[in-house]
Copies of this chain bind each other. A is one copy, B any other.
Protein backbone atom coordinates (compact mmCIF):
# COMPACT_ATOMS: atom_id res chain seq x y z
CA UNK A 1 0.00 0.00 0.00
CA UNK A 2 1.23 3.49 -0.82
CA UNK A 3 2.53 5.44 2.18
CA UNK A 4 1.26 9.03 2.57
CA UNK A 5 3.78 11.75 3.41
CA UNK A 6 2.26 15.02 4.62
CA UNK A 7 4.71 17.49 3.16
CA UNK A 8 4.97 21.21 3.90
CA UNK A 9 4.33 23.56 0.96
CA UNK A 10 3.76 27.21 0.21
CA UNK A 11 1.67 28.58 -2.65
CA UNK A 12 3.29 26.17 -5.10
CA UNK A 13 2.48 22.58 -4.15
CA UNK A 14 5.21 21.32 -6.48
CA UNK A 15 7.96 22.98 -4.41
CA UNK A 16 7.92 21.30 -0.99
CA UNK A 17 10.65 22.93 1.07
CA UNK A 18 10.64 21.67 4.66
CA UNK A 19 14.05 20.27 5.64
CA UNK A 20 12.43 17.72 7.90
CA UNK A 21 9.95 16.60 5.23
CA UNK A 22 12.86 16.17 2.82
CA UNK A 23 14.59 13.96 5.37
CA UNK A 24 11.47 11.78 5.50
CA UNK A 25 11.08 11.73 1.71
CA UNK A 26 14.69 10.61 1.27
CA UNK A 27 14.27 7.94 3.95
CA UNK A 28 11.19 6.57 2.17
CA UNK A 29 13.02 6.63 -1.18
CA UNK A 30 16.10 4.97 0.36
CA UNK A 31 13.88 2.11 1.52
CA UNK A 32 12.45 1.86 -1.97
CA UNK A 33 8.90 2.32 -0.69
CA UNK A 34 6.00 3.69 -2.71
CA UNK A 35 4.88 6.96 -1.24
CA UNK A 36 2.68 9.85 -2.20
CA UNK A 37 3.20 13.40 -0.99
CA UNK A 38 0.19 15.22 0.45
CA UNK A 39 0.90 18.95 0.00
CA UNK A 40 0.28 20.57 3.38
CA UNK A 41 0.46 24.34 4.00
CA UNK A 42 1.40 25.57 7.49
CA UNK A 43 -2.20 26.31 8.43
CA UNK A 44 -3.28 22.80 7.40
CA UNK A 45 -0.81 21.04 9.71
CA UNK A 46 -3.11 21.05 12.77
CA UNK A 47 -5.71 19.13 10.76
CA UNK A 48 -3.38 16.40 9.49
CA UNK A 49 -4.72 12.94 10.34
CA UNK A 50 -7.20 14.41 12.80
CA UNK A 51 -4.63 16.56 14.56
CA UNK A 52 -2.10 14.01 15.74
CA UNK A 53 0.91 16.32 15.44
CA UNK A 54 1.84 19.98 15.63
CA UNK A 55 4.50 19.43 12.99
CA UNK A 56 5.11 17.75 9.68
CA UNK A 57 6.39 15.41 8.37
CA UNK A 58 3.70 12.94 9.28
CA UNK A 59 3.44 9.63 7.47
CA UNK A 60 0.53 7.22 7.27
CA UNK A 61 1.56 3.64 6.54
CA UNK A 62 -1.58 1.48 6.55
CA UNK A 63 -3.11 1.96 9.99
CA UNK A 64 0.05 3.44 11.46
CA UNK A 65 0.87 7.16 11.67
CA UNK A 66 4.26 8.55 12.68
CA UNK A 67 5.42 12.15 13.06
CA UNK A 68 8.92 13.66 13.36
CA UNK A 69 11.55 12.87 10.73
CA UNK A 70 13.90 10.98 13.03
CA UNK A 71 11.03 8.89 14.44
CA UNK A 72 9.89 8.18 10.89
CA UNK A 73 13.36 6.93 9.94
CA UNK A 74 13.50 4.71 13.04
CA UNK A 75 10.00 3.42 12.25
CA UNK A 76 10.92 2.60 8.65
CA UNK A 77 14.10 0.84 9.79
CA UNK A 78 12.08 -1.38 12.14
CA UNK A 79 9.11 -1.91 9.84
CA UNK A 80 11.17 -2.67 6.71
CA UNK A 81 14.29 -4.46 7.97
CA UNK A 82 14.84 -6.30 4.67
CA UNK A 83 15.12 -3.03 2.72
CA UNK A 84 18.41 -1.04 2.58
CA UNK A 85 19.39 0.11 6.05
CA UNK A 86 19.02 3.78 7.02
CA UNK A 87 21.38 3.56 10.00
CA UNK A 88 23.87 0.72 9.52
CA UNK A 89 23.27 -0.71 12.96
CA UNK A 90 22.56 0.46 16.50
CA UNK A 91 25.70 2.59 16.68
CA UNK A 92 24.57 4.44 13.60
CA UNK A 93 21.14 5.05 15.14
CA UNK A 94 22.75 6.63 18.19
CA UNK A 95 25.33 8.71 16.31
CA UNK A 96 22.79 9.90 13.75
CA UNK A 97 21.17 11.65 16.70
CA UNK A 98 24.40 13.54 17.35
CA UNK A 99 24.53 14.54 13.70
CA UNK A 100 20.91 15.69 13.88
CA UNK A 101 21.67 17.83 16.92
CA UNK A 102 24.78 19.25 15.23
CA UNK A 103 22.83 20.00 12.05
CA UNK A 104 19.99 21.59 13.97
CA UNK A 105 22.22 23.73 16.18
CA UNK A 106 24.83 24.68 13.58
CA UNK A 107 23.23 24.64 10.15
CA UNK A 108 19.56 25.32 10.90
CA UNK A 109 20.37 28.20 13.23
CA UNK A 110 22.10 30.12 10.47
CA UNK A 111 19.96 29.04 7.53
CA UNK A 112 16.72 29.52 9.43
CA UNK A 113 17.60 33.16 9.96
CA UNK A 114 19.21 33.71 6.57
CA UNK A 115 16.20 32.40 4.65
CA UNK A 116 13.40 33.47 6.97
CA UNK A 117 12.00 36.22 4.77
CA UNK A 118 12.41 34.03 1.67
CA UNK A 119 10.33 31.32 3.35
CA UNK A 120 7.62 33.84 4.15
CA UNK A 121 7.55 35.02 0.57
CA UNK A 122 6.68 31.60 -0.92
CA UNK A 123 3.71 31.07 1.40
CA UNK A 124 0.02 31.64 0.67
CA UNK A 125 -1.50 34.69 2.39
CA UNK A 126 -3.09 32.85 5.31
CA UNK A 127 0.15 30.95 5.93
CA UNK A 128 2.15 34.17 5.75
CA UNK A 129 0.02 35.60 8.56
CA UNK A 130 0.62 32.54 10.74
CA UNK A 131 4.33 32.45 9.87
CA UNK A 132 4.90 36.13 10.59
CA UNK A 133 3.18 35.94 13.94
CA UNK A 134 4.91 32.77 15.16
CA UNK A 135 8.39 33.68 13.85
CA UNK A 136 8.30 37.28 15.01
CA UNK A 137 7.43 35.98 18.48
CA UNK A 138 10.32 33.50 18.30
CA UNK A 139 12.94 35.94 17.03
CA UNK A 140 11.67 38.97 18.91
CA UNK A 141 11.91 41.20 15.83
CA UNK A 142 10.26 41.82 12.51
CA UNK A 143 10.68 39.11 9.86
CA UNK A 144 12.35 41.58 7.55
CA UNK A 145 15.08 42.28 10.11
CA UNK A 146 16.07 38.68 10.85
CA UNK A 147 18.15 37.90 7.73
CA UNK A 148 20.02 41.22 7.96
CA UNK A 149 23.19 39.60 9.27
CA UNK A 150 23.37 36.81 6.72
CA UNK A 151 26.10 38.32 4.57
CA UNK A 152 28.19 39.19 7.59
CA UNK A 153 27.71 35.72 9.05
CA UNK A 154 28.36 33.75 5.87
CA UNK A 155 32.10 33.15 6.35
CA UNK A 156 31.56 31.99 9.92
CA UNK A 157 28.76 29.70 8.78
CA UNK A 158 30.89 28.15 6.08
CA UNK A 159 33.71 27.63 8.59
CA UNK A 160 31.28 25.95 10.98
CA UNK A 161 30.81 23.20 8.38
CA UNK A 162 34.43 22.11 8.76
CA UNK A 163 33.61 18.90 10.70
CA UNK A 164 31.47 17.78 7.76
CA UNK A 165 34.00 18.97 5.18
CA UNK A 166 36.77 17.11 6.99
CA UNK A 167 34.65 13.95 7.27
CA UNK A 168 34.13 14.05 3.51
CA UNK A 169 37.92 13.94 3.05
CA UNK A 170 37.83 10.48 4.68
CA UNK A 171 34.74 9.03 3.04
CA UNK A 172 32.23 9.98 0.33
CA UNK A 173 29.18 10.05 2.60
CA UNK A 174 28.49 10.76 6.26
CA UNK A 175 27.22 7.18 6.27
CA UNK A 176 30.58 5.93 4.92
CA UNK A 177 30.80 4.18 1.55
CA UNK A 178 27.13 4.86 0.82
CA UNK A 179 24.55 7.32 2.13
CA UNK A 180 22.54 6.76 5.29
CA UNK A 181 19.87 8.76 7.09
CA UNK A 182 22.65 10.90 8.61
CA UNK A 183 23.32 12.22 5.11
CA UNK A 184 19.65 13.01 4.61
CA UNK A 185 19.59 14.91 7.91
CA UNK A 186 22.15 17.41 6.64
CA UNK A 187 20.90 17.28 3.06
CA UNK A 188 17.47 18.37 4.25
CA UNK A 189 18.87 21.64 5.55
CA UNK A 190 20.61 22.54 2.29
CA UNK A 191 17.70 21.40 0.14
CA UNK A 192 15.40 23.66 2.18
CA UNK A 193 17.44 26.74 1.35
CA UNK A 194 18.13 25.64 -2.24
CA UNK A 195 14.38 25.62 -2.91
CA UNK A 196 13.53 28.71 -0.89
CA UNK A 197 16.27 31.20 -1.52
CA UNK A 198 18.76 32.30 -4.19
CA UNK A 199 21.21 33.18 -1.40
CA UNK A 200 24.42 31.17 -2.10
CA UNK A 201 25.09 29.48 1.22
CA UNK A 202 27.87 27.23 -0.12
CA UNK A 203 30.82 28.18 -2.29
CA UNK A 204 30.77 26.20 -5.55
CA UNK A 205 34.15 24.60 -4.93
CA UNK A 206 33.26 23.51 -1.39
CA UNK A 207 33.43 19.71 -0.91
CA UNK A 208 30.17 20.09 0.99
CA UNK A 209 28.56 21.49 -2.16
CA UNK A 210 29.96 18.56 -4.16
CA UNK A 211 28.50 16.10 -1.62
CA UNK A 212 25.17 17.97 -1.69
CA UNK A 213 25.11 17.68 -5.48
CA UNK A 214 25.52 13.92 -5.16
CA UNK A 215 22.67 13.86 -2.64
CA UNK A 216 20.46 15.64 -5.19
CA UNK A 217 21.18 12.83 -7.66
CA UNK A 218 20.15 10.03 -5.29
CA UNK A 219 17.02 7.94 -5.72
CA UNK A 220 16.26 8.99 -9.24
CA UNK A 221 17.16 12.59 -8.53
CA UNK A 222 14.01 13.30 -6.50
CA UNK A 223 15.73 16.26 -4.88
CA UNK A 224 16.90 17.80 -8.16
CA UNK A 225 13.45 17.52 -9.75
CA UNK A 226 12.46 20.60 -7.77
CA UNK A 227 14.42 23.44 -9.43
CA UNK A 228 16.53 25.72 -7.28
CA UNK A 229 15.13 29.12 -6.36
CA UNK A 230 16.07 31.75 -8.92
Contacts and interface: CB of A to CB of B under 8 A. Distances in A.
Q: Which 6 A-B pairs have the closest CB atoms?
A: A89-B89, A91-B92, A88-B91, A94-B176, A95-B95, A102-B163
Contact of A95 (B99, B162, B166): B99
A180 B173 CA distance: 21
A92 B97 contact: no
A101 interface: yes
A180 B102 contact: no
Contacts of A174: 94-95, 98
A43 interface: no
Contacts of A90: 88-89, 92, 176
Interface in A128-177: 162-164, 166-167, 170-171, 173-177
Contacts of A105: 162-163, 166
A106 B163 contact: yes
Contacts of A164: 98, 101
A167 B182 CA distance: 14
Interface residues of A, number: 33
A184 B30 CA distance: 31
Contacts of A87: 89, 91
Interface in A75-110: 85, 87-99, 101-102, 104-106
Nearest to A174: B98
B95 A85 contact: no
Contacts of A163: 98, 101-102, 105-106
Max chain B C-beta neighbours (<10 A), residue from A89, A90, A98, A174: A98
Given A102-B163, A167-B101, A173 B94 contact: yes
A157 to B, nearest CB: 14
19 contacts: A87-B89, A87-B91, A89-B91, A90-B92, A90-B176, A91-B95, A91-B96, A91-B182, A92-B94, A92-B95, A94-B173, A94-B177, A95-B175, A95-B182, A101-B167, A101-B170, A102-B102, A105-B162, A105-B163
